[in-house]
């Protein structure tokens, strides 16, 4: 669908969105691996997690990347595509 648009901003933005999705969703399993008994438990040595856990931190980072970051990429694509269309018309 992006390729059929013929808009370079949309095509490049789609590539960025694919990476955002891949990296953003890869954070969740990393957080799961930080649970006690798993391979990455103790990764954040010396941190005081009396009220929360490293898993909570990883999931919050993943949520921010997946929601805020993804939204900013979509917004950037829309702005670039609109600017490209306006220069075509003018």
- Local confidence band at 68 (pLDDT 50, 70, 90 cut-offs): very high
Q: Residues of 36-53 as b/e, b for ≥16 C-beta within 10 angstroms? A: eeeebeeeeeeeeeeeeb
As a whole number, the mean pLDDT across the chain is 80
**Has this prediction a pTM greater than 0.95?**
no
How far is Cα 7 from Cα 51, in angstroms, rounded to an integer? 48
Tell me which of 22-31, 33-42, 63-72 is least confident.
Answer: 33-42
Look-up: residue for tokens 């609109």?
82
Structure tokens at 77: 């694509």
Nearest-angstrom CA–CA distance, 23 and 27:
7
Residue 89's Cβ-side half-sphere holds a number of Cα atoms within 13 Å equal to 6
């Amino acid at each position: 669908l992006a390729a059929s648009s013929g808009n370079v901003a949309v095509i490049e933005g789609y590539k960025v969105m694919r990476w955002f999705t891949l990296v953003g969703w890869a954070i969740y399993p990393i957080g799961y691996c930080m649970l006690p008994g798993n391979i990455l438990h103790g990764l954040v040595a010396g941190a005081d997690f009396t009220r929360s856990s490293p898993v909570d931190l990883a999931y919050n980072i993943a949520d921010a990347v997946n929601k805020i970051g993804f939204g900013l990429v979509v917004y950037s694509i829309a702005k670039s595509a609109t600017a490209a269309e306006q220069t075509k018309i003018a």
